């Protein structure tokens, strides 16, 4: 089978498509024939070799995919050959024609959800759910700001928050991005690339502020977020690419919280909760991943260049296979 292999850490150009041996599932494992792969910013961070997670070389990148189960190891009962599934975590990497997972890392994909949409679920939707509910404590009727709502995690967060009965505002950096954010169910959209948008956001809450902010670029926005919070408000830091100076006083009168999050810290029970909720949302149609960019597997290097440019997002980037 063909797979993208990384032999040395470095820039996008080190991602090369190679022939590698076929995989075989062992006890408790599932083998999936991959039809689409989710590209996440973390895949690019890991590839540089400077991220907290550093795989042993050589390796195949990727944690997200969707496809068809081709064989299962001894003891696997939740899926069988022929099932359409999405993959949320992999033992062998997902930038490949085949991937091996533990049984807990595959989830049935309803017939109304395409493979490309399935590849958009693992990291983005699980992160959005964890940020909104497990870390953010989001509740029906609360006002939530998705600061960076046009990308993979942001569009997922808008859909999940709206389905949960929250009042949703999302930001994007382009007009097309704002349109997309509203189409996903946001009550309001604002442009984070335009001066004065913070005042506009505050006015949308009638001056009260947001109960919850899901932040995609904290090194740019965290200080401003503190000023946008309501009393007892929470900021959940999902994305961050640098440092920022904040005034802690802005947390005091509001009794505000800044909460970090990483999907890597989710327990097995929390992951079960997340994927049960995602499965229900896919089946009832409230969750419908938006695919922005499709790139063939062989051009994974271009995908990594584009995902790090970080402007003008319109949903999720996927690699197509076959």
Residue 84 or 192: which CB sits closer to ligand NAP? 192
CB of 242 to ligand NAP, least distance (A): 11
Q: Which residue is nearest to ligand NAP (CB)?
A: 151
CB of 41 to ligand NAP, least distance (A): 4
CB of 13 to ligand NAP, least distance (A): 20
Residue 30 or 157: which CB sits closer to ligand NAP? 157
CB of 81 to ligand NAP, least distance (A): 31
Cα(94)–Cα(76) distance, integer angstroms: 20
How does strand 188-191 pair with strand 167-172? Answer: parallel
Contact (Cβ atoms closer than 8 angstroms) between residue 207 and residue 227? no
Residue 58 or 193: which CB sits closer to ligand NAP? 193
Cα(258)–Cα(215) distance, integer angstroms: 10
Residue 107 or 130: which CB sits closer to ligand NAP? 130
Q: What is the DSSP string of 21-45?
A: PPP---TTEEEEEEEEEE--HHHHH
CB of 158 to ligand NAP, least distance (A): 10
Cα(9)–Cα(74) distance, integer angstroms: 35
Residue 265 or 276: which CB sits closer to ligand NAP? 265
CA 94 → CA 43, 89, 193, 234, distances in Å? 11, 8, 34, 34
CB of 303 to ligand NAP, least distance (A): 11
Contact (Cβ atoms closer than 8 angstroms) between residue 230 and residue 251? no
Residue 97 or 116: which CB sits closer to ligand NAP? 116
Cα(143)–Cα(101) distance, integer angstroms: 38
Interaction site with ligand NAP (CB under 6 A): 40-42, 123-124, 127, 147-154, 171-174, 177, 192, 216-217, 220-221, 238-239, 261-263, 307, 310-313
Token pair recorded at residue 1: 């089978």
Residue 93 or 315: which CB sits closer to ligand NAP? 315
CB of 271 to ligand NAP, least distance (A): 13
Contact (Cβ atoms closer than 8 angstroms) between residue 14 and residue 47? yes
CB of 64 to ligand NAP, least distance (A): 10
- Which residues, other chains included, contact 230 with Cβ-Cβ below 8 Å and sequence gap of 6+? 143, 205, 208, 209, 210, 211, 254
Bond preceding residue 186 cis, omega within 30 of 0 = no
Residue 120 or 164: which CB sits closer to ligand NAP? 120
């Amino acid at each position: 089978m063909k797979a993208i292999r990384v032999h040395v850490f470095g820039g996008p150009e080190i991602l090369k498509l190679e022939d590698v041996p076929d995989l075989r599932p062992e006890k408790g494992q599932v083998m999936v024939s991959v039809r689409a792969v989710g590209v996440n910013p973390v895949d690019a961070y890991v590839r540089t070799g400077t991220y907290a997670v550093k795989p042993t070389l050589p390796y195949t990148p990727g944690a997200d995919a969707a496809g068809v189960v081709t064989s299962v190891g001894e003891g696997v009962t939740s899926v069988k050959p022929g099932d359409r599934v999405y993959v949320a975590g992999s033992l062998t990497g997902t930038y490949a024609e085949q991937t091996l997972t533990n049984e807990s890392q595959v989830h049935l994909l309803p017939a109304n959800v395409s493979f490309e949409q399935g590849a958009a679920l693992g990291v983005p939707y699980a992160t959005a759910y964890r940020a909104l509910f497990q870390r953010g404590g989001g509740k029906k009727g609360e006002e939530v700001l998705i600061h960076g709502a046009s990308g993979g995690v942001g569009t997922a967060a808008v859909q999940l928050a709206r389905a949960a009965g929250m009042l949703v505002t999302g930001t994007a950096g382009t007009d097309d991005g704002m349109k997309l954010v509203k189409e996903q169910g946001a009550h309001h959209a604002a442009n984070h690339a335009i001066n004065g948008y913070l005042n506009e956001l505050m006015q949308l809450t009638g001056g009260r502020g947001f109960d919850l902010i899901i932040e995609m670029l904290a090194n740019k926005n965290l200080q401003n977020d503190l000023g946008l919070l309501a009393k007892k408000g929470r900021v959940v830091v999902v994305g961050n690419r640098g440092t920022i100076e904040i005034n802690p006083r802005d947390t005091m009168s509001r009794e505000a919280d800044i909460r970090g999050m990483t999907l890597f810290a989710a327990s097995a029970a929390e992951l079960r909760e997340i994927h049960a909720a995602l499965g229900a949302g896919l089946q009832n149609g409230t969750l419908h991943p938006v695919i922005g960019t499709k790139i063939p597997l062989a051009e994974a290097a271009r995908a990594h260049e584009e995902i790090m440019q970080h402007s003008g997002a319109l949903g999720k980037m996927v690699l197509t296979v076959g």
